[in-house]
Amino acid sequence: MDLRYAPEDEAFRAEAREWLTDQLTGDFAGVRGRGGPGDEHALFDERLAWERALGSARLTCLSFPEQYGGRDASLLQQVIFYEEYARAGGPGRVGIIGEGLIGPTILHFGSDEQKRRFLPRIASGEEIWCQGYSEPNAGSDLANVQTRAERDGDEWVITGQKIWTSLAHWADWCFVLCRTDRDAPRHRGISYVLVPMRQAGIDIRPIVQITGTSEFNEVFFDGARTAADNVVGDVNAGWKVAMGTLAFERGASTLGQQLAFENELTEITETAKKNGRSSDPVTRQRLADAWIGLRIMRYNALRSLSSMARGELTPQTAIHKLYWATFHRQLGEVAVDVLGPDAALAAAQPYELTAAQRLFLYTRADTIYGGANEIQRNIIGERVLGLAPEPKVSS
Ligand SMILES: Cc1cc2nc3c(=O)[nH]c(=O)nc-3n(C[C@H](O)[C@H](O)[C@H](O)COP(=O)(O)OP(=O)(O)OC[C@H]3O[C@@H](n4cnc5c(N)ncnc54)[C@H](O)[C@@H]3O)c2cc1C
């Protein structure tokens, strides 16, 4: 990938920077820096309005074709946007699952009708999505999903339970991995079904997390319905689509993510300077290590993006997930250690947390979602090092 910026890239950077700065110091100043990990509950209505303002400025879903509300933007321009977004302190995006997961999946695997129906409403922020993969007995072992979809005339009828469903309480739609053939080998009897969330037959129960907030939920489907043509890809061929979605999860946002972590490190370093812990030799080493870790992340992300720009999907993405998740969890530990005993005091009654506390608590999840560390190590062991595959219980 050629990382020199062409004049049109610089022009796009200037446009994005100016728009973000204007909005986040003007009408949307209140959402600046809000809604991140452990703060997802904050200011939902305001952040939904922000999502729609971004959509009106055509600053969501940059990679989508123009006809579906995007800009057909190059990978480099997408990276530029994520960098500028992090630099400006843009809030946690309520449309992130639509833009990052289901949008690219529909673009790649969906029918023309599905593209027309769903993509523009993702880009405009009109419809919010959630991901219905995990179940109580299907997390790392995702092919074990038991939620069923059965055909009834022109509709699918969905029955079963999903868990850890982020943002389900706000979502208009969910992409649900369902078993559609119980007799087929387990990877071959799964379909990728798009289900409207606001209907009888869906019960959403928030799960209170260690942060005291409820970013994710249990979702019970009891005869929920969706139209027969709301299946992405072929019926019973949903496993391939589901794996495609996971590959999209590690796209252009990775560089912006690194800048967001840099903002967190800057704050931690400033705290250490103010409270005197920056003179403690071990703290100094840990802060310097974190700074070095960020540089490694950046070069690793650039290397992955270069491969993606050449159309290659390499096992390097597994290294990246393992690296950033472990890095971020450790950064959370540094954040509270720098506070010392003050880290044990809540910001306010009854359980209002400081940014450092939220970072510490939420980053425990980073090494679990999107593929747990152990699973990433299995991928590296098997696909990079060529080690013998771990024994499978069934296939
Ligand atoms: C904050 C957060 C948000 C989430 N959001 C969503 C969402 O929106 N939608 C959704 O569908 N899911 C979501 N998840 C669920 C997430 O995808 C699962 O938690 C993850 O896949 C792990 O599955 P599990 O929790 O069932 O753990 P398990 O798979 O039961 O794993 C438990 C432990 O065993 C280890 N383990 C399992 N199998 C192996 C193996 N073969 N070899 C070695 N070790 C192994 C794991 O690494 C882990 O340490 C979210 C999770 C979190 C924490």
77 ligand 1 Cβ < 6 A: no
**Integer CA distances (angstroms), 369 to 133, 165, 166, in order:** 11, 11, 11
Q: Which of 40-54, 247-261, 367-381 has the lowest mean pLDDT?
A: 247-261
Q: Which residues are within 8 A (CB) of 263 and not within 5 positions of it... i.e. 6 or more apart?
A: 86, 89
165 ligand 1 Cβ < 6 A: yes
pLDDT surpassing 70 at residue 1: no
Does residue 218 carry a catalytic annotation? no
Which two tokens mark 381? 């062991």
Nearest CA to ligand 1 atom 22: 139
The residue from 249, 333, 382, 390 that is catalytic is 249
Gap from CA of 250 to ligand 1 centroid (Å): 17
For the residues 247-257, what does the mean pLDDT come to?
A: 70
Nearest CA to ligand 1 atom 1: 365
Gap from CA of 372 to ligand 1 centroid (Å): 6
140 ligand 1 Cβ < 6 A: yes
Gap from CA of 159 to ligand 1 centroid (Å): 22
Task: Kindly report whether the global pTM for this prediction surpasses the value 0.85.
Answer: yes
Q: Which of 1-15, 61-75, 141-155 has the lowest mean pLDDT?
A: 1-15
Gap from CA of 277 to ligand 1 centroid (Å): 36
For the residues 13-38, what does the mean pLDDT come to?
A: 94
Q: Which of 134 and 3 is assigned the larger pLDDT?
A: 134
- For the CA of 141, the closest atom of ligand 1 is 29
Question: Is the Cβ–Cβ distance between 209 and 369 less than 8 Å?
Answer: no
- Please report the pLDDT score of residue 336 as a whole number: 97
Question: Is the Cβ–Cβ distance between 249 and 370 less than 8 Å?
Answer: yes
